[in-house]
């Protein structure tokens, strides 16, 4: 387990849930543990299409309870951290 520093937590809240391995430039998406556990229970297999649909469903449930989602969706520009939209 990795414990986030206050600066990392601030960066995560400002720029979104993407973490980058500086050695490989591989990107990781950070999701809350409960969302991750729900995704694991639902997926049960590694079929990419089915997994994508299930992730969409889980995230829709999570988004429905996010009081700040509208403010994120109204942003015209996203911070540039090497990731594409």
In a domain, residue 39? The reply is yes
Q: Tokens for 67, please give them.
A: 């009081």
Ordered DSSP codes for 10-70: HHHHHH-SEEE-TTT--EEE---HHHHHHHHHHH-S--HHHHHHHHHHHHHHHHHT-TTHH
Cα–Cα–Cα angle for 26, 35, 67, nearest 5°? 105
How many domains is the chain partitioned into structurally? 1
In a domain, residue 41? The reply is yes
In a domain, residue 7? The reply is no
Residue 3 and residue 11 in contact, taking contact as beta carbons nearer than 8 Å: no
- pTM of the predicted protein model: 0.44
Q: What percent of the chain has pLDDT over 90?
A: 7
In a domain, residue 45? The reply is yes
The range of the structural domain enclosing residue 38 comes to: 31-67
Q: Tokens for 19, please give them.
A: 């973490």
In a domain, residue 57? The reply is yes
In a domain, residue 42? The reply is yes
Q: Which of 17-26, 46-55, 60-69, 76-85 has the lowest mean pLDDT?
A: 76-85
């Amino acid at each position: 387990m990795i414990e986030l520093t206050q600066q990392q937590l601030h960066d995560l809240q400002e720029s979104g849930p993407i973490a980058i391995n500086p050695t490989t430039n591989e990107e990781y998406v950070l999701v809350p543990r409960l969302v991750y556990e729900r995704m694991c229970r639902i997926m049960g297999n590694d079929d990419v299409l089915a997994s994508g649909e299930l992730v969409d469903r889980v995230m829709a449930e999570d988004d429905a309870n996010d009081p700040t989602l509208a403010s994120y969706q109204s942003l015209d520009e996203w911070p540039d951290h090497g990731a594409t939209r």
